[in-house]
Structure 1
Amino acid sequence: MPVMEYLERNAKLYGDEVALVELNPTEPDTRRMSWKEYSLIESDTFAPYRREITWSVFEEKANRCANLLLQRGVGKGDKVAILMYNCLEWLPIYFGILKTGAIAVPFNFRYDAGEIFYCAELAEVSVIIFGPKFIGRIETNAERLSKGRLLIYVGDNCPSFAESYHLMVADCPSTKPNVPPITDDDFGAIYFSSGTTGFPKAILHKHRSLTQAAKMEQKHHATTHEDVFLCIPPLYHTGAKFHWMGSLVVGGKAILLKGTKPDIILQTVSQEHCTIVWLLVPWAQDILGALDRGQLKLEDYELAQWRLMHIGAQPVPSSLIRHWKKYFPHHAYDTNYGLSESTGPGCVHLGMENIHKVGAIGVPGYRWECKIVDSNGQEVPRGEVGELCVKGPGVMTCYYNNEQATAEVLRNGWLFTGDMARQDEDGFYFLVDRKKDVIVSGGENIYPVQIEDFLHKFAKIKDVAVIGMPDKRLGEICTAIIEIKEDTACTEAEIDEFCLELPRYKRPKKIIFAPVPRNATGKIEKPKLRKLYGADNLVAKQVESEEECV
């Protein structure tokens, strides 16, 4: 059944119970403040804001949004984009879009003006619903974007080139919209690839994918009505939204937290009595670092109810989890592997009962199949490295308006992930690296994730990324960009000595001490690093050198 039916059921069963809480501990509620009032606020005197809605109000707001869109001519198959930071309006708008039979199209809030226009054109979006932080980026393209599109602004002081969501929705009925039945075979959402390998691709999913993700999340983490889920990552991403949908299935409460500092996370877990927390690797590292330095003390917080910490969106160093368990020995732990093409996390998952296999991405998730193949698409013997392929009810329909790219990754129902992996004797899958990230040095294949996982064991390292840099003799050399922990000194010689445990060909030939950039979902931005330190940068330097010689 489509996920909107869970919302309707929750409104009937748990109507007066809190469904969503928006919590911002670092900023005052400026939604109705003038700029003058805002400028006079002293950062140490304001009261942070907290908003909440019940399941019945959630349902009513979604219905009002749906009826508004229907009044403005939006119908089945139309595409409606959402460009907002996490807030209490986000999910009701998303469900309002689904209730019309239209296709929800979440936009990455990091898109610049050009990327917004590119994605709107690619997905053939007819409506863009955006928030206050994006006025400038929308205004840059307002003339182009408004041609054949409706621009709707969610907030106060609506700009002249858009229409006010709050003014329009206030007069719309809160009753269920009158539309033809929506089935699992209808299209429900378009998500965009992260763009870490080039321009984003538009990923089209049917409603069955959304329902599969919701059911799977609830089963994987045994989510109950009493659980409280802490959601920090951006809702435009499949990971955040579909992890939250485990709570949707059981009518559980969720906290939308704005803030990623260690003290803010622990304070929220404590005050809101959170039981399930999904973290990204950098946030977990920051919490551990603060605990190691004594900046945080666990006894200052009420954390006994916190039962599960899980991580996804990027490879997780096993050393990090062992470190975590020293501070939180009672925590269940899980990691989830997935792609937006597979409706986000969970097509492979470790399982809370398999902590002894930390380091693996796990086994096939609920209703999923997996296999590892060679370059000819033939399955490889267990233990050998090949490309991971997944098959299940959450696989995308296609890359929208891109038949060639679709044909490259979808074959006989199997999604070719582009990730290199191996399977051990117990049937657990281990991620080796991205197919495109493999470094070929002197004829040897080097998988950066393996080197990164090894370097994470070094106590002084906070974060690390490994890339290939051009080399005339070897083709490429292994280069490690290393971010050192706060208030710590480290030398290249120390790193070299630590790496003596590695085979010679796997040892980094170049060390760069610098911050490791990650995107909003925690993935290392390797294209950015390659541009800074790799082939593009090398060519640019060669050109500059030649010009100097002339």
Structure 2
Amino acid sequence: MRMADRYGDKEVYVFLHSDGRRDSITAKELYKKSRQLAHSLLSMGVGKGDVVATCLYNDLDLLICTFGVICTGAIQLNATIRNEDGSDLHSKLKNLDVKCLVLNPGDDHKQLKACMNFIQKINADGSVQSSQVPALKRLISTSTVNGLEMLQLRECLREQGDSFKLPKLDPEATMLLFPTLGSTGESKFVPHSHHDAMIIGHHLKVSIGYDTADVMYCERRIAWIGGFPFMFLHDALKVVTKTKPFSTLRELFEFTYKVMRKERCTVAGLLPSTVIGLVDMVKDMPEKPSFLLKNIHTAGLPVDSTCMNAIVILTETVTNAYGSSEGGCFTSNPVKKKENYLNYCSGKPLAGFELKVVNDEGFVVEREKVGLISVRSFNQSHIICNGEFHFVLECVLYND
């Protein structure tokens, strides 16, 4: 409500499709639709502490569902279907006692067909029967399917009376579950509270260095920590993003460049490979780009100095950051001159974090040596990351 009152008709999210379609929403519209969905979910028995899974594309439906679920006090879980028989989704829904599933049936209804392997019956009011997932009681579809009556998301976004009040939320209550990458084994789900979300939003703002007048292009999906709307929750930064992946890297680079220029983006959150691809593409252009970003924020992979070629060509600054599903963004390295960049360096801990790199015996390793990274935060009572680490870190411990 605070964002809707403060930013009103400001366009806060833009979703771009490969066919040229542009879906956008204002702060006021997002609050209205989220509130409408929350009312429908509550009337279906979904409430505080329940887990609601969304299996959607990176689109406006996903954004509205994310905030609609949050408004009820339920827990948001973004899920994907990778196995044709839906066994991977089935195991997630069962293990996490998911109560409601919001589903895009998918191309040729592939996602719905996968779900029908563990859902025996779907009723027109959204109720379902599943002996394999006993906790699952509701299914909402984002589009119609011939021959099958299902509750549609648009039906859940109808106008409600003014007397309806959203439940009061506990800042320390779990708001969402994020999947880890699974690089050290099977992917796990990490809980984050409403308070965590605001802290992560603040750290991202500090790391990127944006203000509320900026426009950010982000190629990460809402379903992942790098694309989740933390920055909207923090101060309603306008974000432009894509809905689906591209079949070739060239298509991705051309789309990204065109969008950043057309939407007048001032900052960008990009993977290292996209940064390098954009630089190579721009170098081959007969004319110099007519725009210059304030900052390109990158993370997720070791960042080679090649990424710093974007400085002056595409951006004033390239910021290499490091974080995790557990802790959000906790180091940052803003670079304005390529020659000042230490290869793979992800910088210094952000305020509120302590970090060290240790050997197998638990002793701090020498500078530029490989070891185990341990990070802790004032709002975390446990180590939030502990695994093999191959980046170079400038720890406060080592500063001269």
Please, what TM-score do these two structures have when normalized by structure 2?
A: 0.84
Which residue is 1:528 aligned to? Answer: none
Which residue is 1:336 aligned to? Answer: 321
Q: 258-267 or 221-230, which moves further after superposition?
A: 258-267
Q: How many residue pairs are counted as aligned between the two chains?
A: 374
1:135 correspondence with 2:137: no
Looking at structure 2, the residues matched to 21 and 121 of structure 1 have their Cα atoms a distance apart, in angstroms, of 34
Contact 2:94–2:134, Cα closer than 8 Å, also in 1: no
1:60 correspondence with 2:32: yes
Contact 2:15–2:23, Cα closer than 8 Å, also in 1: yes
Among 143, 158, 161, the residue aligned to 1:170? 158
Q: What's the CA shift for 1:9?
A: 1.6
1:98 correspondence with 2:70: yes
1:420 correspondence with 2:389: yes
Q: What's the CA shift for 1:110?
A: 4.4
Alignment CA distance shift 1:249-1:49 (3 Å) = same
Which residue is 1:120 aligned to? Answer: 93
Which residue is 1:504 aligned to? Answer: none
Among 308, 319, 335, the residue aligned to 1:322? 308
Which residue is 1:349 aligned to? Answer: 332
- List structure 1 runs of 4+ shifted beyond 6 angstroms: none
Which residue is 2:234 aligned to? Answer: 249
Alignment CA distance shift 1:191-1:394 (3 Å) = farther
Q: Which runs of 5+ in 1 are unaligned?
A: 1-7, 28-47, 396-411, 430-550
Which residue is 2:58 aligned to? Answer: 86
Which residue is 2:194 aligned to? Answer: 207
Q: What's the CA shift for 1:94?
A: 0.7
C-alpha RMSD over aligned residues = 2.7
Alignment CA distance shift 1:354-1:92 (3 Å) = farther
Which residue is 1:516 aligned to? Answer: none
SS in 2 for 1:226: coil
Which residue is 2:373 aligned to? Answer: 388
Looking at structure 1, the residues matched to 164 and 321 of structure 2 have their Cα atoms a distance apart, in angstroms, of 35
Q: What's the CA shift for 1:214?
A: 0.9
What are the equivalent positions in structure 2 for 1:20-99 lying under 5 Å apart?
Answer: 20-24=13-17, 26-27=18-19, 48-99=20-71
Contact 2:10–2:27, Cα closer than 8 Å, also in 1: yes
Alignment CA distance shift 1:172-1:158 (3 Å) = farther
Looking at structure 1, the residues matched to 9 and 25 of structure 2 have their Cα atoms a distance apart, in angstroms, of 9
Q: What's the CA shift for 1:178?
A: 3.1
SS in 1 for 2:255: helix
Deviations 1:129-156 (A, max 9, x none): 1113232332333334664311111124
Contact 1:77–1:102, Cα closer than 8 Å, also in 2: yes
Bigger Rg over Cα:
1
Higher helix content, 1 or 2? 1
Looking at structure 2, the residues matched to 168 and 423 of structure 1 have their Cα atoms a distance apart, in angstroms, of 48
What are the equivalent positions in structure 2 for 1:457-536 lying under 5 Å apart?
Answer: none
Deviations 1:238-290 (A, max 9, x none): 1111xx42244232321122355211111111111011111112222322333
Contact 1:231–1:278, Cα closer than 8 Å, also in 2: yes
Contact 2:311–2:337, Cα closer than 8 Å, also in 1: no
Deviations 1:148-186 (A, max 9, x none): 31111112447737421212332545877431x312211
Looking at structure 1, the residues matched to 29 and 5 of structure 2 have their Cα atoms a distance apart, in angstroms, of 11
Looking at structure 1, the residues matched to 309 and 368 of structure 2 have their Cα atoms a distance apart, in angstroms, of 28
Please, what TM-score do these two structures have when normalized by structure 1?
A: 0.62
1:228 correspondence with 2:215: yes
Q: What's the CA shift for 1:116?
A: 0.6
Looking at structure 2, the residues matched to 61 and 165 of structure 1 have their Cα atoms a distance apart, in angstroms, of 11
What are the equivalent positions in structure 2 for 1:248-327 lying under 5 Å apart?
Answer: 248-258=233-243, 261-292=252-283, 294=284, 296-297=285-286, 299=288, 302-304=290-292, 306-318=293-305, 320-325=306-311, 327=313
Deviations 1:368-421 (A, max 9, x none): 1111223243434555432101111565xxxxxxxxxxxxxxxx6223421325
Could you tell me which amino acid in structure 1 is paired with residue 169 of structure 2?
Answer: I
Could you tell me which amino acid in structure 1 is paired with residue 185 of structure 2?
Answer: G
Q: What's the CA shift for 1:103?
A: 0.8
Q: What's the CA shift for 1:428?
A: 7.2
Alignment CA distance shift 1:14-1:140 (3 Å) = same
Q: What's the CA shift for 1:336?
A: 1.4
